[in-house]
Amino acid sequence: MKLNQPKVTEQLTPATFQDVWLEEDPYLQNCVVLDSRFDGEMVERAQLTNMLVKNSSFQHASLPDLFITDVRFENCDFSNADLRGVSIHRASFHNCKMLGVNFADARFTDVLFEQCIGNLSAFVHAKWERVLFEQCQLKDADFFDCKLKQTKFSMCNLDSASFDETSLKGVELRSSEFESMTVSMKDLEGCIVSVRQAVQFAAMMGLDIRDE
């Protein structure tokens, strides 16, 4: 699967995330944000475009309806942030903490999550296309009633993740691991899995699997 990469220019102006309040509309573009803290803050409908954000913290921040285009996040902490209704296009998250993030009603297109920790995050009612999770921790994550197109979980930990009411047709899981998972037989149709995972799913569905 080929993702469209974030189009971040080399010439960026230094800024902090608090600069979103300097404009009439909460808008940041063409800038680099380093070592900024926005913990517990709240801003609605902020727009981020053509940015690099590194070593910054958004713990417990409330950023509903956030709009992100062409942004690269590195070593950022979004733990327990409220990102309901976020719209993310051509963005990447590298080595970010996303424990318990609320991604309800999110919209993603061409998004990479690499070596991120997203345990207990909620992607309820999310819709996305061309999304790659690579070497991510997603234990107990909730993907309830999602629409997933061109999605790959590569070498991820999906133990106890829930895909209730979410079709996994065309979704690739085969290099990822889990001990248990919530998913129905009908929603597994067309999912790309390994032989070992096929046996796991069969056992989860109640089959009595025995060697001859």
Say what the pLDDT of residue 24 is.
Answer: 76
This prediction has a pTM of 0.93
Beta bridge partners of 31: 13, 51
Torsion of CA 124, 129, 133, 139, to 10 degrees: 20
* pLDDT tens profile 159-207: 999 999 999 999 999 999 998 899 988 999 899 999 888 888 877 766 5
Higher pLDDT, 210 or 22: 22
What mean pLDDT do residues 83-99 have? 98
pLDDT tens, position by position, 3-13:
999 999 999 99
Q: Hey, what domains does the chain have and what are their CATH numbers?
A: 13-204 (2.160.20.80)
Average pLDDT for 12-30: 88
Name the burial class of residue 209, with classes exposed (0-12), middle (13-18) and buried (19+) by CB atoms within 10 angstroms of its CB. exposed
pLDDT for residue 1: 78
The letter for the amino acid at 100 is G
Asked if residue 167 lies in contact with residue 173, where contact means CB atoms within 8 angstroms, the answer is no
CA dihedral in degrees (174, 175, 179, 181; nearest 10)?
-50
Secondary structure of residue 178 in the 3-state scheme: coil
**Residues shown for the chain:** 212
Tens-place pLDDT, residues 101-156: 999 999 999 999 999 999 999 999 999 999 999 999 999 999 999 999 999 999 99
**Residue 84: which of 68, 98, 66, 58 has the closest Cα?**
66
pLDDT at res. 196: 87
User: What pLDDT shows up at residue 211?
Assistant: 66
